[in-house]
Amino acid sequence: MIEVRDLRKEYGGFAAVEGSTFSVDRGEVFGIIGPNGAGKTTTLKMLAGLIEPTAGDVQIAGLAADDSAMRRRLGFLPEESPLYEEMTPISYLTFFADLYDVPENQAITRIHDTLDRLDLQHRDRPLGDMSKGMKRKVAIARSLINDPDVLVYDEPASGLDPLTTNFIIDFTTELAEAGKTIVFSAHNLYHVESICDRVAIMNQGSIVARGPLETLREEHGETTYHVYTTIELPGSEQQNGRYVRSVNSMGEVEATREDAAERGGEVVDIRTEEASLEEVFLNVADEPAQAAATGTTGTGTVDPGE
């Protein structure tokens, strides 16, 4: 559905995005994360055809990013989305439906169905009198007015209260389940971790790692095994009448089992704690600095088949 090859964007000789390559399948949720200035928003705007790449290629559903036909297949939500505040949600969305040549009867049905799903009330109230969360819901409805196949969302829940944030994240999940292909960025890594099939981590304009979350955890995270025993062992702590030793490999798990047996005890439970996406991100983001200090370079994680 989305193919990006060797994407580059320069501003006055400075590379805001350098050599980005990735693909996104139909119905997939693909997250792009990274620190401020990493190139996330620039990448999303190039996908949406709002910025022309200096080099490289973007294909959306087989169409070039600058093809007007592609824009009818895509819905874009920028991080900041000013609305025409004197208009109501209905008049605003009807205006955009007309821009996309959506038939009037179909547009009205789609508008009300989408606002129902977004649980937006007060549809005849001027947008300028609405809360930020309500305005964000209207902006999301606008991105769906042409019933696009691909959605590109830049920080869809930016600056919203936790209740509205969770609602929008859940709604994004529903869109993916309905077959929409979604690419989005977010600073809240918990949300990225909860809904993304794959993630690309950007730093200093480049994708430094990408792949399924499990692959990223394996390559850039650390798994901790909490081994519970009936007897105290060196390095263990007492917890609820048992003892727990935390180790980082299955070899150490087996060594703990042997230590317990030698002392007349046994292992009664093993619990696995995987690295969070935040821990993976911090590890990956720190790698360029470590590479610069040692004079080495990294290639990052590569998805099979890319």
Output the pLDDT for position 294: 38
Check residues 66 and 25 and name the one with the higher pLDDT: 25
pLDDT digits (tens, 9 = 90+) for 11-65: 998 999 999 999 999 999 999 999 888 999 999 999 999 999 999 999 998 888 8
The mean pLDDT value for 161-184 works out to 90
Residues 247, 126 share a domain:
no
CA 41/CA 20 separation, integer angstroms: 13
Average pLDDT for 138-152? 95
Same domain? For 116 and 161 the reply is yes
Which is nearest to 200 in space by CA: 4, 64, 54, 14?
4
Per-residue model confidence as pLDDT tens digits over 222-263: 778 899 999 999 999 998 889 999 998 889 999 999 999 999
CA dist., res. 38 & res. 72, Å (int)? 28
Among 217, 239, 258, residue at a domain's last position: 217
Tokens 């890594």, residue? 189
Neighbours of 132 (CB within 10 A): 12
199-203, 207-211, 270-274, 283-287: least confident range: 283-287
pLDDT of residue 297: 38
Asked if residue 203 lies in contact with residue 285, where contact means CB atoms within 8 angstroms, the answer is: yes
Residue 206 lies in a domain: yes
What is 162-216 written as a DSSP string?
HHHHHHHHHHHHHHHHTT-EEEEE-S-HHHHHHH-SEEEEEETTEEEEEEEHHHH
pLDDT for 293 equals 37
My answer on whether 75 and 181 are in the same domain is: yes
Task: Kindly state the percentage of the chain with pLDDT values over 70.
Answer: 93
Q: Specify if 281 maps to a domain.
A: no
Structural domain includes residue 35? yes
Sheet containing 63-64: give its strands across.
14-24, 2-11, 55-60, 63-64
Q: Mean pLDDT over all residues of the chain?
A: 88
Are residues 178 and 235 both part of a single domain?
Answer: no
Report how far apart the first and last C-alpha atoms of the chain are (Å, whole number): 14
* Poorest-pLDDT segment among 64-68, 181-185, 287-291: 287-291
- Both 183 and 244 in one domain: the answer is no
State whether 75 and 42 are in the same domain.
yes
Pairing of strands 198-203, 74-77: unpaired
User: What is the average per-residue pLDDT within 123-148?
Assistant: 94
Q: Per-residue pLDDT for 306 more than 80?
A: no
Backbone angles phi, psi at 139, to 5 degrees: -65, -40
**pLDDT for position 215:** 87
Could you report the per-residue pLDDT of 268-301, keeping only the tens digit for each? 999 887 777 888 888 887 765 444 333 433 444 4
What is the 3-state composition of the chain as percent helix, strand, coil, each rounded to the nearest 5?
35, 25, 35
Residue 160 pLDDT more than 90? Answer: no
Can you give the pLDDT at residue 287? 62
How many domains does the chain contain in total?
2
**pLDDT value at residue 246:** 93
Q: Which amino acid is at 279?
A: E
Domain region containing 248: 224-273
Q: With contact defined as beta carbons under 8 Å apart, do 268 and 243 qualify?
A: no
CATH at residue 204? 3.40.50.300
Q: Is the dihedral of CA 234, 237, 238, 239 positive or negative?
A: negative
The per-residue pLDDT for range 69-110, each reduced to its tens digit, is 888 899 999 998 889 999 999 999 999 999 999 999 999 999
